[in-house]
């Protein structure tokens, strides 16, 4: 008999984490029911409101809001329309409103992907942010031997830097938090700069051997105006004094800039989500497909690629995990990200399933 209820991680209006009980969503066409074993917190996207609530000092808990969009577990049931998965399959899942911090999840089949045998549930829980990083890098069109600067060494920035190296680029990461730069160096990123403590212009010139950066990824939230200005200064400079290169903007940053001549010949590109398919309901549920001959890289093929890299040891996401806590201690995890960002990066929530 299938379970009818689940425990779900949520945020109340004071900015604290809690666990609520919900009915498990109905298993409709194109959907997969997963017993979740691990999920990953996305501190940038998921905790912005919680940070603001704590800063404002709100005291009324109000209605708790479930959150989360990446987890991994075991398939326990599928709708009769689903042929790609069967009970017992180990899968990584993604998607806002679907792959929450919960003990059970009902997820569209194209937002699920089978885990390689040597990839753990905890590693599989990184897939949504991994392919967010991958899509941001694709948007910047890296080429072998190019120099890239990645602004913001949270989870997306860390993985984008590593993927850029895998594409043959030399990657430098920028962050204001020394701990994140240290994590990047331990992970093998070619170079880092602690913004506000080190001379970013001088280090960029030395790192790129005087050439300037060919491309950049800005993986930050909030006001990115000054960050964009700083990046523009270290991009390639043509003999006629125009800055050149591609800048991929991912995440929730806002920025003001002078377009046209003010940016020279820089190419600013927005990166939305994880690649084609995500948020196309018919595609997510398998009612339609994007033919590979015309669209090689979709959200689904990105999922498969990221998991392959994890399996081959090329994307060691386990090295980014600083905290692992039970779902019941979700407020400990939320508080660590908000109160101790200089010691917290990847937080995995582990689900228990009492018999």
Asked if CATH classification 3.90.180.10 holds for the domain at 5-125+275-350, the reply, yes or no, is: yes
Q: How many CB atoms lie within 10 A of CB 165?
A: 18
CA distance 203 to 170: 14
Tally: H helices and E strands in the chain: 11, 19
Give the Cα separation of 259 and 280 in Å (integer): 32
Q: What is the 3-state secondary structure (H, E, C) of 287-344?
A: CCCCCCCCCCCCHHHHHHHHHHHHHCCCCCHHHHEEEEEEHHHHHHHHHHHHHCCCCC
d(Cα 277, Cα 76) in Å, to the nearest integer?
Answer: 25
State pTM to two decimals.
Answer: 0.95
| Angle, CA of 206, 209 and 210, to the nearest 5° | 90
- Cα–Cα distance, 179 to 129 (Å, whole number): 20
**Residues sharing a CB contact under 8 Å with residue 326, sequence separation 6 or more, in sequence order:** 349, 350, 351, 352
User: Which of the 8 DSSP states describes residue 279?
Assistant: T
pLDDT for 355: 63
Each domain of the chain, given as residue ranges in start order, spans: 5-125+275-350, 136-271
Q: Name the DSSP class of 63.
A: S
d(CA 62, CA 88): 38
List, in sequence order, every residue forming a beta bridge with 9; answer none if it has no partner.
Answer: 19
SS3 call for 145: coil
Q: Determine the Cα–Cα distance for residues 9 and 329; give it in Å rounded to an integer.
A: 9
The reply to whether 5-125+275-350 and 136-271 are identical in fold is no
Are the CB atoms for 120 and 91 separated by under 8 Å?
A: no
Q: Which pLDDT value is given to residue 238?
A: 93
Nearest Cα to Cα of residue 114 among 95, 91, 93: 91
Radius of gyration of the chain (CA): 21
CA–CA separation, 303 vs 30, rounded Å? 18
Apex CA 268: angle with CA 214 and CA 155, to 5°? 75
Per-residue pLDDT of the chain (355 residues), as tens digits, is: 889 999 999 999 999 999 999 999 999 999 999 999 999 999 988 999 999 999 988 888 889 999 999 999 999 999 999 999 999 999 999 999 999 999 999 999 999 999 999 999 999 999 999 999 999 999 999 999 999 999 999 999 999 999 999 999 999 999 999 999 999 999 999 999 999 999 999 999 999 999 999 999 999 989 999 999 999 999 999 998 899 999 999 988 888 888 877 888 999 999 988 999 999 999 999 999 898 888 889 999 999 999 999 999 999 999 999 999 999 999 999 999 999 999 999 999 999 998 6
75 vs 78: CA distance, rounded Å: 8
Q: What are phi and psi of 122, to 5 degrees?
A: -65, -40
Distance CA 177, CA 193 (A): 10
- Judge: domain 136-271, CATH 3.40.710.10: no
Contact 331, 315 (CB under 8 A): no
| CA 18 – CA 329 distance, rounded (Å) | 8
> Which DSSP state fits 102?
B
């Amino acid at each position: 008999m299938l379970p009818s209820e689940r425990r779900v991680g949520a945020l109340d209006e004071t900015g604290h984490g809690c666990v609520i009980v919900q009915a498990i969503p109905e298993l409709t066409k194109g959907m997969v029911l997963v017993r979740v074993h691990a999920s990953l917190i996305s501190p940038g996207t998921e905790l912005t409101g919680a940070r603001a609530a704590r800063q404002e000092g709100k005291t009324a808990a109000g209605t708790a809001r479930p959150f989360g969009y990446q987890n991994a577990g075991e398939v326990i049931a599928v709708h009769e329309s689903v042929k790609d998965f069967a009970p017992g399959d180990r899968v990584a899942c993604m998607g806002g409103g679907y792959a929450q911090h919960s003990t059970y999840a009902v997820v569209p089949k194209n937002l699920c992907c089978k885990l390689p045998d040597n990839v753990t549930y905890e590693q599989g829980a990184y897939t949504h942010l991994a392919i967010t990083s991958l899509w941001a890098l694709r948007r910047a069109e890296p080429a072998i031997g190019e120099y890239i600067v990645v602004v913001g060494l949270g989870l997306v920035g860390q993985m984008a830097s590593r993927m850029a190296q895998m594409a043959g680029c030399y990657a430098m990461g920028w962050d204001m938090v020394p701990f994140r730069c240290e994590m990047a160096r331990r992970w093998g990123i070619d170079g880092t700069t602690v913004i506000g403590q080190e001379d970013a212009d001088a280090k960029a010139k030395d790192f790129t051997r005087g050439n300037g950066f060919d491309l950049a990824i800005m993986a930050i939230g909030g006001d990115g105006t000054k960050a964009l200005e700083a990046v523009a200064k270290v991009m390639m400079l043509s003999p006629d004094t125009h800055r050149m290169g591609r800048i991929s903007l991912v995440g929730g940053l806002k920025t003001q800039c002078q377009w046209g001549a003010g940016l020279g010949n820089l190419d600013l590109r927005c990166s939305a989500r994880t690649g084609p398919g995500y948020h196309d309901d018919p595609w997510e549920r398998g009612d339609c497909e994007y033919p590979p001959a015309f669209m090689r890289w979709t959200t689904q093929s990105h999922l498969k690629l990221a998991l392959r890299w994890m399996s081959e040891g090329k994307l060691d996401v386990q090295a980014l995990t600083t905290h692992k806590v039970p779902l019941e201690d979700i407020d400990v995890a939320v508080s660590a990200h908000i109160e101790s960002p200089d010691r917290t990066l990847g937080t995995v929530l582990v689900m228990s399933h009492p018999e």
